[in-house]
Amino acid sequence: MSEETKNTAEEAVQPAAEQAVNPQEFLANFDWYKYEEGIEAVDEAKLKEFETALEGTVGFVNERDVIEGTVVRLTERDAIIDINSKSEGVISLNEFRYNPSLAVGDTVEVLVDKREDSSGQLVLSHKKARVIKAWDRVNNAHETGEIVNGFVKCRTRGGMIVDVFGIEAFLPGSQIDVKPIRDYDQFVEKTMEFKVVKINHEFKNVVVSHKALIEADLEIQKKEIIGQLEKGQVLEGVVKNITSYGVFVDLGGVDGLIHITDLSWSRINHPNEVVELDQKLNVVILDFDDNKSRIQLGLKQLSAHPWEALNADLKVGDKVTGKVVVLADYGAFIEVSEGVEGLIHVSEMSWSTHLRSAQDFVKVGDEVEAQILTLDREERKMSLGIKQLHPDPWTDITTKYPVGSKHSGTVRNYTNFGVFVELEEGIDGLVYISDLSWTKKIKHPSDFVNVGDTLEVEVLELDVENRKLNLGHKQTQENPWDGHESTYQIDSIHEGTISEKSDKGATVLFADGVEGFAPSRFLDKEDGSKLGKGDTADFKVLEFSKEYRRIVVSHTSIFKEEEKKNVKAAAKKAADVEKTTLGDISGLADLKKKMEEGN
């Protein structure tokens, strides 16, 4: 125990020895604060009054004030800051990590966190002061449009994180530059100028833009460029963006569009076949709207039209070689030289009069040889032909395919009324549906033959002038109806099976494959019921036509005929009986007459 404490305790004990003191009263009135702290406690009301009196005097500060202080001493862990108050403050060096060159004598911003802690020490914070001051500066920059410097710290989703006055701000990817950015990493750890474009005070979010500064500069350039724009003017630009329909070119703050059709005299599928991003090129102004906000540019117009450079010696009848660039059902476009195209119509691809699709002859990318049929340099049109490079097969058609001659052909197509058979390239003929089979009733050619099949045919008719060939298939076979005529004579009876049935009647199939038709009224059976599909019965031939290959039969007529015969037989018998009775009566009359005469 210290000497001072010992004396104090003795002074407190002496009166108790001299006179009797109530212990409880003594403890209640004992000054414990003075005993523990060594000084008397200060009255709070008086302290408040004292502080009020100090306000406005030199060295007095309020809590939460942000003021400037001077670094007076540096230790291994702390910085001692003098703010011209009654005591100095201590700030951890961790708050100065951003400033490793901090030295004695430097002026720094601090926040008065507490004027006195429990030990009477002044508590300051440099970090909190920076944040408050930073928000003040950011808000001021937002309101005034001031340009601020920021340090790009790192990439983040959708953009970059930028340090502005110690505050982390968000730089969207779309606000980095006026042109699309493909490499964000090139901006990391760089100091750039920004404009504060948005502040969310509730969530303490700051959004900055570098693009806004560029746009402001470009707007000045844009006005100057737009004011000088004229149709036909040639400018240098940089490819800014490539789309499927065209190319956007930066003319130095003003964007123009080169439509895909104005990129090249030749046909192209996509603009990237001609240009690439960031490429510098010269363009010509074709047109623009009233306020010059939409500028139409051209690239191909800087070179002469290919038709003007076309060989002047080319004429109708000459042969040319080119590549198929466009294919349609009606024909193919051939590029005979860069930017010069000719059309080969499908009718000029083959000597055949039966037109097909151009895809049956050529495909895109094919190199073909053709002959010039028409040439119009003023209208810049050219028509070509392929078939003209080969002899016309119809020239000696009567020699190769005379009427009655038999040949093998390939089924190329069919319609509802017949089949087109190709005998050779350029020569095809039509087989009518009625000339396909002697016996079968064909509803559609596809029921009898398929495209691509080989079919034996006979030339039935030949029209050289109109290039028409009439063929037949059944004529290559013997006509079975020659034999059917003797087999299916009128009133002959044959066994058959009903294969199909309708309201009008039934189709009856006989053993040799011949079909007959039985009208509905001739399907009645003897018991009154009707024959149905799949029933087998006897049928009588009522009608036979070799020319029309038609047989009409009847089942009902068989038993009806028997009934008719029976009726006739019965009638004859009855007549005979009647004749006999009358004869007997006549004889008796004659006998009576003779007897009477005898008497």
Q: Return the pLDDT at 136.
A: 82
Q: Return the pLDDT at 12.
A: 47
Please tell me the distance from the alpha carbon of residue 357 to that of residue 363, in angstroms, as a whole number. Answer: 11
Q: What letter would DSSP give residue 321?
A: E
* Residue 448 domain-assigned (yes or no): yes
350 lies in the same domain as 417: no
369 lies in the same domain as 275: no
Q: How many CB atoms lie within 10 A of CB 247?
A: 28
**Whether 254 contacts 295, CB under 8 Å:** yes
* Residue 223 domain-assigned (yes or no): no
| Token digits of residue 135 | 């928000």
Please tell me the distance from the alpha carbon of residue 420 to that of residue 429, in angstroms, as a whole number. Answer: 6
Q: Return the pLDDT at 245.
A: 92
| Token digits of residue 173 | 């990817």
- Beta strands 191-200 and 147-156 are antiparallel
Element (H, E) at 484: helix 481-487
Please tell me the distance from the alpha carbon of residue 256 to that of residue 269, in angstroms, as a whole number. Answer: 21
* Residue 464 domain-assigned (yes or no): yes
pLDDT one-digit tens code per residue, 100-154:
788 888 888 887 866 666 565 677 877 777 777 888 888 888 888 888 888 998 9
* Residue 221 domain-assigned (yes or no): no
562 lies in the same domain as 585: yes
Please tell me the distance from the alpha carbon of residue 180 to that of residue 43, in angstroms, as a whole number. Answer: 70
Q: How many domains does the chain have?
A: 7
The rounded percent of the chain whose pLDDT value lies above 70 is 80
Please tell me the distance from the alpha carbon of residue 548 to that of residue 79, in angstroms, as a whole number. Answer: 123
367 lies in the same domain as 472: no
The rounded percent of the chain whose pLDDT value lies above 90 is 18
489 lies in the same domain as 571: yes
Please tell me the distance from the alpha carbon of residue 138 to that of residue 127, in angstroms, as a whole number. Answer: 16
pLDDT at 30 over 80: no
409 lies in the same domain as 468: yes
Average pLDDT in the 397-425 region? 88
Q: pTM for the full model?
A: 0.42
The parent domain of residue 84 ranges over 45-131
* Residue 166 domain-assigned (yes or no): yes
